Amino acid sequence: MTVRRYVTALLVLACLALVSSHDQHSPIDIQHYEDGKHNDAFDHAAILGSQEALDEFEKLAPSEAKRKLERIVHNMDLNKDDFVTQDELTPLGSSVIRVTQRRGTGPIMAHYDANGDDSVTWKEYLQKEHDYTLVKLETDRAKDDVDLAQTLQLVEENEMKFRAADVDKTGSLDLAEFAAFTHPYDYEHMHEFEVNMTLKAQDRNKDGSIDFTEYSDEEECNAGDVSEEDKVANQEQFDRHDKNKDGKLDRDEIRAWVLPNNQALAMEEAVHLIHETDSNRDGQLSMDEILDKYTLWVGSAAQTDTLHEEL
């Protein structure tokens, strides 16, 4: 699935969250693509918010699937004029990412929350994730042991991220803060940390920026053997990121390179979604238009049976 298709699903999930904000189903665990082919089940799982909800929805007859989708559409229609517009779709795209994250973050947080107080301290995280006590960590840091260097570096980076996520500086992370800790790219107050980590990893000459050699080495490392065609593509990508054309990426350019612009994605997807569903081309979606395309938004037993027959 492309990013566009994924955001389509997330837009609907935002409205479903308004319908059922207390859903405690487990998070989605379905791949965008399987064997190079688009997996429609991922769209539906993302829309419905969980594997359990997906399983339940796929048992519904088309009429029942449409009825449930109708409830979702009513929540999309913010001004209650019986139409869904680009302006109503776009804001949902940014907020739904966090809705999705928090649904999945709760069980992860519980894994680290040793005393069950609905928060995670650095001590709890350190013990569970790295099998370290605070005392043992300080002891190992004092050893100057090269064999421990990589582990200690990872611990240091996680501690820095933990401190950045701890907005209220209480020494522990609540659910919202833990979501930012586990998904730093999607939280603006974590972006400075991500830029710093990118510079730490790639700014080999320590000049506070990333030149093309540093950028391309990272790209080539990720890709393995790189063809001449790929090298040219790397240069073109670097040039697009290098907005001021000074031959290096400064902090703002790095931020734009490594961090997602969820608002832009949501706006692009809203335009795309209206284009796909707006049969009369009036720039807005009626209930009938959306329900007519219901298999684009959600599945049903009939669709599942058809897929099984095709297989």
Query: Any idea what the Cα angle at residue 66 is, between residues 62 and 67, rounded to 5°?
Result: 120
Task: Please state at what angle helix 122-130 crosses helix 134-143, rounded to 10 degrees.
Answer: 70
Q: Residue 194 gets which letter from DSSP?
A: H
Which two three-digit tokens encode residue 187?
Answer: 């939280």
pLDDT of residue 298: 64
Residue of 20, 14, 24 lying closest to 96 (CA atoms): 14
Q: Is the dihedral of CA 286, 78, 85, 97 positive or negative?
A: negative
**Residues 294, 71 contacting (CB under 8 angstroms):** no
- Phi and psi, residue 120, nearest 5°: -125, 120
- For the chain, list residues with pLDDT below 70: 1-55, 57, 92-103, 218-226, 262, 265-266, 269, 298-311
pLDDT of residue 113: 97
Helix (H/G/I), strand (E/B), else coil: 248: strand
pLDDT of residue 215: 92
Longest dimension (CA), the chain: 71
pLDDT of residue 150: 94
pLDDT of residue 248: 97
> SS3 sequence, 72-136?
HHHHHCCCCCCEECHHHHHHHHHHHHHHHHHHHHHHHHHHHCCCCCCCEEHHHHHHHHHCCCHHH
pLDDT of residue 304: 40
pLDDT of residue 274: 86
pLDDT of residue 54: 60
pLDDT of residue 8: 52
